[in-house]
Each structure stands twice: as C-alpha cells, then as structure tokens.
Amino acid sequence: MKLYNTLSKKKEEFTPLEEGKVRMYVCGPTVYNFIHIGNARPMIVFDTVRRYFEYKGYDVNYVSNFTDVDDKIIKKAIEEGVSSDEISKRYIAECKKDMEGMNVKPATTHPLATEEIGGMIEMIGALIEKGYAYEKNGTVYFRTRKFPDYGKLSHKNLDDLRSGERSLLVTGEDEKEDPLDFVLWKPKKEGEPSWESPWSDGRPGWHIECSEMSKKYLGEQIDIHAGGEDLVFPHHENEIAQSEAANGKEFAKYWMHNAFLNIDNRKMSKSLGNFRTVREISEQFDLQVLRFFMLSAHYRSPLNFSADLMDASKTGLERIINAADHLKFLTGNAKAEKMTEEEADAYAKTEEYVKAFETAMEDDFNTADAVAAVFDLVKYSNTTANADSAREYLENLRSLLTKLTDVLGLIVERKEEMLDADIEKLIEERQAARKAKDFARADEIRGELLKKGIILKDTREGVQWKRA
C-alpha cells in the first residue's frame, strides 16, 4: 500500500510502527458554528482511509479532536451573551449530527482541548526545561530556531520566512526573542475562559493542543497525521517542532493532506457569499450524495463544488443503490438456492473488480478509480443477474457490492419510503417539541426523518419538506 507523504513529497510504501495496527490523528474542527463543506472533505477522506485499513484487517486507533477554546468561539459567545462552553458544546453536537449524516464513523477518541489542559501545561514545562521555550510576562514562546528541522514538512526555509515572506510570520508581540517564535501559552484577557498555570492564568496556543492530545491517546510516535493542506504551515509544522523537541523522537511517519474545495470555481469565503455549510447542503441533498461527490476526485486534487456536480453525483449514487435494490428484489423471488457451475464461474470473475478496487485504494487512496471499479461491478451485476439466477449467486453479488461500498462509507440500502401522512404527523410532533423547548426530541425527529430520506427546511411560513 502506497501513500503520498507530504514530508518527503513522494509516494511511500506504508509500514506501520506496530504490525497490524495503525495510529492515526486527524485535526478536527474549531466548533463555533455549523461545519462547512471545506471541513467535510477531510472528515470524509480520512474516514475512508480508516475504513480501508480496517477492511485490510488493521486495528485502527483513530483520534480526531474538537478545538473547543479559541478566539472565534469566544467572539461568538460574547456576541450571544453566553459562555464559550455553551457555544462549543452546542456546535460539537451539531457537528456530530452532520458527521452521522455523511456516515463518518465516530473516532476511537474525540478529545476536547479544554479537558486536556493539564497535559499541555506539562508539555510546555518540559519544553522550557529543555531550553526550547521561554516565558515573557506570562506568555510562553517556542524558540523556533533552536529546532534544527523547522520547515521540513512545509519545505520552507527559516531565513526566507524571516526576510521575505512577512505574511507567513507567526504573529506575536515585540517581546519575542525572534519574530518567528510562536505562542505556547497566553495570559487571559478580560472575559475569556482561563486556566491556572505556572506562568499566568490563561490558555494554550492552538498548536500545543494537538501535540498533547496526539501524545496522550496515541503515544509519542504515530503512523499517520492528517488534515487539510491549509494546516501544513504553520499548524502541522509547529506540531512537529513541539512534539519532537519535547519527546526526542520522530512525531509522525506519514503526513497526509487533502486539497482545497472551491465553490463554482471560486475559493469558498463569506465575503464572496459562497460559504456553504453541511447543514445547508442537507436541505437540498441526502448527505450520502455529498460523500459520493467528495470521493469522486482524488483527495490531493482540488475539488470544485456546484449544484450540477451534486446532481450528477446523486444520479451516480442512485445507479449503485438501484443495482443493490434490484439484487435484493431478485433474491426474494429466486427459485433456485445453490449456484450452478456457470454461476460459480461468473461469480469468480468478480475478483477482477475487487482487484481493481484494491489497486486503486492502495495507490494513495485513489477513490475516483475505486468508484469506477464499483460501477464496473454494478454493470456486471446488471448484465448477469436475472429472474432465473440462483439465490446464492444473487446474495453473493449483493454482499460483495455492499462490502466495497461500505469501505467508501456509502450506504446502498434504500431508505424506506414514508407516507406523506406519517411525515406530516412527525413534523407536527417536532413543532410541539420545539414549542415545549424539548429541542433534543425535535432534533431526534429531524434526524429520524433524514435517515428515511426526508429533508426538512424551517422557513418563516412554516416547515417545508421534500424527499431526497
């Protein structure tokens, strides 16, 4: 199995630190609002990577954090007049709903930054002891130049950063020894959440959070560290510096980064008015369609989001679901139990589609080619399975199709059709729950309807619904 390592800028054979096990850390979102489709790409991509490792028999320890203390969270809390904790808890819950809709498996551990402050303080203390960090007026900085390998991931040169690339400098105060030094701990400002430390009442810098959470839940060395390409510098570069300086050993063997996602050929941004949340997408499409769309391109290729491409993805996914549904129908009506010799030979030929699928996935997780292999299997299934086929042959075909699509996180079981009256009844119950401020039940009903392919949209005129 080969994967592209950002560290070496080439594809490398994957060899785990411990045979049969994979330790994987994926940077999660900062929870101050609904997640956007840019956040969704790494979630889907690296969930698929995890699923393939599991398909190949690996025991995967998959850790993905929630950054639940941050300037943006604090700003949102001040705007709403509530605590930062209330904001982060609300949007962690909303994020988990969206992840479920995209069929992203829960991580082995989803650590919260605010629950790991003690470990971060210990790591910062170790860095100070070793001379890699220093304190000035309650702020602790990392001595970037003391770490000789700084820049090895982003392939940036420290002197170039200092002289020319002013925009890449890590921001800070004049009290730094060097403008490139970055913050490990900062004193609190009025109204901010804070924790006691030997240097000041304050909170950790963003970078130290992931270094500590990765170490606690995966150990000092891990197999794969992953995230969006926007994290390569400075976040992942700084993680390497902190972790390797503190622990005295290589932090991660392989670094994987997905490319950016554009909207209608333009970079997604609030200023352009093309900022799309996963929740907004769920009002137009089943989130399985979003997942299928994300996997239709290689994860290291830029991906362009548009309504037309989502419609095409919906059609493609429907083709796979129809094939699985047809096999289910034929199985229920099959007359013969066991495969004939001809059918056994026909089923043996499906091995070439499995091989094509695995070859694609083992070439740096080329999901686009893996999806193509699934379509080839669908075509083969449609042409060889019929009303005269034996139940065993039909069941084997459907089982294989389900097995491969499950690696991609695609659900091929058709959602039960609900009667309009039953939908309206649940919507009424949801409205009553909201009126009674029973938001947990209201959310439960929305989720229940979404699982059955019913998309709700709350408007001023009332609740509108449609089938996905």
Considering only residues 444 and 68, tell me which one the structure prediction assigns the higher pLDDT. 68
Average pLDDT score, the chain? 93
Q: Say whether both 82 and 216 belong to one domain.
A: yes
Do 403 and 426 lie in one domain? The reply is no
Asked if residue 97 belongs to a domain, the reply is yes
Same domain, 201 and 350: no
All residues at 6 or more sequence positions from 39 whose CB lies less than 8 Å from its CB, including other chains: 29, 278
pLDDT at residue 122, as a whole number = 98
Is the same domain home to 441 and 396?
Answer: no
Together in a domain, 328 and 427: no
Dihedral sign for Cα 190, 195, 200, 206, please.
negative
For residues 372 and 436, membership in a common domain is answered with no
- Domain final residue, candidates 363, 381, 407: 407
In this structure, the answer to whether residues 354 and 431 fall within a common structural domain is: no
Q: Over 90: is that where the pLDDT of 194 sits?
A: yes
Query: Last residue of a domain, which of 384, 407, 430?
Result: 407
pLDDT digits (tens, 9 = 90+) for 118-135: 999 999 999 999 999 999
- Owning domain of residue 372: 308-407
Confidence at residue 420, expressed as pLDDT on a 0 to 100 scale: 83
- Taking Cα atoms as reference points, which of 68, 59, 51, 61 lies closest to residue 111? 68
pLDDT digits (tens, 9 = 90+) for 198-216: 999 999 999 999 999 999 9
Kindly state whether residue 282 falls inside one of the protein's structural domains.
no
Residue 142 near residue 184, CB atoms below 8 Å = yes
Domain total in the chain? 3
| Residue 460, domain member (yes or no) | yes
Pair (39, 164) in one structural domain? yes
| Cα–Cα dist 316/405, whole Å | 13
140 is a domain residue: yes
Classify residue 295: in a domain, yes or no.
Answer: no
393 with 435, same domain: the answer is no
Q: What is the CATH number of the domain that holds 14?
A: 3.40.50.620
Q: Are residues 46 and 177 in the same domain?
A: yes
Question: In this structure, are 113 and 59 located in the same domain?
Answer: yes
Distance, CA of 236 to CA of 117 (rounded, Å): 19
Among 375, 363, 462, CA closest to 410: 375
Domain end (from 258, 274, 299)? 258
143-152, 405-414, 437-446: segment of lowest average pLDDT = 437-446
Same domain, 250 and 117: yes
Residue 80 within any structural domain of the chain: yes
Whether 168 has a pLDDT exceeding 50, the answer reads no
Any domain includes 127 = yes
